[in-house]
Chain A
Amino acid sequence: MLQYIARRVLMMIPTLFAISVVTFIIIQLPPGDFFTTYISNLAAMGESVDQTVVEAIKKEYGFGEPIYVQYGKWIWKIITQGDFGRSFQRGRPVTELIGDRLALTVVLSLFALIITWVIAFPIGIYSAVRQYSIGDYIFTFLGFIGLAVPSFLIALVLMYIAFKYFNQSVGGLFSPEFVDAPWNLAKLRDLLNHLWIPTIIIALEGTAGLIRVMRANLLDELHKPYYTTAKAKGLSEFQALIQYPVRVALNPWISSVGWVLPGLVSGATIISVVLSLPTTGPMQLQALLNQDMYLAGSFVLLLSALTVIGTLISDILLAWIDPRIRYQ
């Protein structure tokens, strides 16, 4: 087992390297760079730019040098100092900017994730055990709707309903008077008041898919003889179900549970844009649109690295839980 983990960790290194190269190429793809746009914008407004400052920054990041030199400078700083560069637009280090929003993003995503699981697992199990019952049909139907409706549409509709019938604005996480206020109990209560709608919308996004996966997997297991045997030996229906088929049916879910990791950080971009939540998602969108390349690149790199690590965690969990898997 240890050997397996060690080998997988070693295999991650070339993958991460390839990812960093691809990321860098992608963020370099747009023609021009931030400064060209920035300077021409300022010039258009009749302002001048302090050329020495621009030159200094350009030199620091190796603008105008071959792309592999730029890449080298970028990756070297990340590895040696944990320095992901600066956001040109906001003039602050990338780590600081992401750090500012990370806590809130993780809290929001984590709550949403827990809600997803709490809803999806019981429903999935119920739908499989009571296949073709009215409940199953209702949940299957809702599940299909859930898969077909884009999450931002749900957000828009809920926002409209909340605005129209409850006269409540849903956007943002704080009421205007609390945005800049220091943390206290009233602010926390205000946050919780705003938090639940986005949390539920984000949670709903993954629920439908998980219900369907759980139902399909469990259905495959319920027809197997070991389940009949367990019941014949006198285990209660519930015990037999939870201890054997459900455990096996969880495997496909475990094999993708690692992707929760990048999900926690990416901050449900589209929903966050619609509901104007201060998560990492909208910041990344802005960075991409403005060619703020180090901010955008760090995001993609961070999320890709987390995806790879997540996959590793999933594989280890799977190898640990499922005795049929051998470490080869």
Chain B
Amino acid sequence: MSQPTDPAAMPGQTPDITASEEAPQEVEAKIMVASQWKLIWWKFRRHKLAMISGIIVIAIYFVAAFAEFFEVFPPDQYAARYTYAPPQTIHLIDMSDGTPRLAPYVNGYKVTIDSFSLRRTFVVDPEQKIPFRFFAKGFEYKLLGIIPWDRHLIGPVNPEDPFYLLGADALGRDLLSRMIAGGRISMSIGLLGVAISLILGILLGGLSGYYGGAVDNIIQRIIEFLRSLPTIPLWMSLAAALPITWPPLYVYFGITIILSFIGWTGLARVVRGRFLALREEDFVLAARLDGAPQIYLIMRHMVPSFLSHIIASITLAIPGMILSETALSFLGLGLRPPVVSWGVLLQDAQNIRAVSTAPWLLIPGLAVVIAVLSLNFLGDGLRDAADPYGR
């Protein structure tokens, strides 16, 4: 998309920071001495939508990091009795004995089995109350892989009780727990994929922009070639090439590498373009004439001025990765069960029969949408803020 056109901005124009009650001179003085990161932060803070999105993104990654704590049951624990059990509603206040009393519960199910189709139908049973509590004892796990614990944010008082806040899937597994577990995989694939793309992009883009000449030419031809390949068929063929016999962890890394295989070309272009533009800047020339050593010149003067742009670009690249992983897994080419990702979860909702009996199977799609939307807004805000002197 279009670059912000800074020549259009008036030279004397100063960004109006939020502290409007201060005298103009003081504001001016504050801006003059503010560091670049401070300017970016000031500008970013004005972008309300981006701020909210940033908080959501942090929350999602927080849940992903401490997934086991937020899960109610282990994501692969099945219960044949509760096939396609519908979502339960939370009641915080118990009114049964006349006086309201704070005792959170959900209603149980009455199950009838159709003698013809053998399908279970669940009816909410208002008589049956399943009390639940916060910080409940549940399955044991290791927080962050180190600290052993058995508390969970929310859970039924009696761990044997059915407790499906977002319903159950075909095997009676808790969708909420699976969605949280899936979030860890889907969100981390985005991060990891972008990290790999970034390393490749900065390395090759930087080489290309810095040396120019033959190196630049070769790298640019490679990028052009990779971009001339159609993305989706290429991803599909590469994903199909992952051996069936691979353990889930290998497949996970394999898919991530496949996704970054195309992604790095975009980042390499951004880095190269910035390098080429910066090389000609006056302040770089001034530093060079001052006799600054090359590595100092790059690290102290060039990198800080495009780092913010790079951060914005990678934020905008993560949602693309998440969407691609979801699509690949949905088609059965990406991650495979028992690994749980949002795409794998949506695979259960692939046919109309499953969706019509259990519409809640589509809820993981909502998680994808929220994650992608907030990453997009955050990235947009960062991109605008990355250029504090722009419009």
Contact = CB atoms under 8 A, between A and B. Distances in A.
Interface stretch (A49-57, A92-100, A119-127, A299-307): A299-307
A171 B356 CA distance: 14
Interface stretch (A14-22, A61-69, A104-112): A14-22
Contacts of B362: 153, 156-157, 160
A44 interface: no
B373 A148 contact: yes
A29 B241 contact: yes
A266 to B, nearest CB: 7
A163 B353 CA distance: 10
Interface in A1-53: 15, 18-19, 22-23, 26-27, 29-31
A317 interface: no
A223 B230 contact: no
B201 interface: no
Interface of B is mostly: helix
B245 to A, nearest CB: 8
B52 to A, nearest CB: 13
13 contacts: A26-B234, A147-B372, A149-B365, A150-B323, A150-B326, A152-B346, A156-B355, A157-B365, A216-B1, A220-B5, A299-B233, A303-B230, A311-B228
Contacts of B229: 19, 22, 304, 307
Given A26-B238, A148-B319, A303 B233 contact: yes
Interface of A: 15, 18-19, 22-23, 26-27, 29-31, 144-145, 147-150, 152-153, 156-157, 159-160, 163-164, 169-171, 212-213, 216-217, 219-220, 223, 262, 266, 269-270, 273-274, 284-285, 288-289, 291, 296, 299-300, 303-304, 306-308, 311
Given A285-B236, A289-B240, A296-B237, A15 B225 contact: yes
A163 to B, nearest CB: 6
Nearest to A306: B230
Contacts of B236: 269, 284-285, 288
Contacts of A148: 319, 368-369, 372-373, 376
B230 A171 contact: no
Contacts of A163: 352, 355-356
Contacts of B355: 156, 159-160, 163
A205 B281 CA distance: 41
Given A288-B240, A300-B233, A304-B228, A150 B368 contact: yes
Interface string B338-363: 00000000100110100110010010
A197 B238 CA distance: 31
Interface in B201-236: 225, 228-230, 232-234, 236
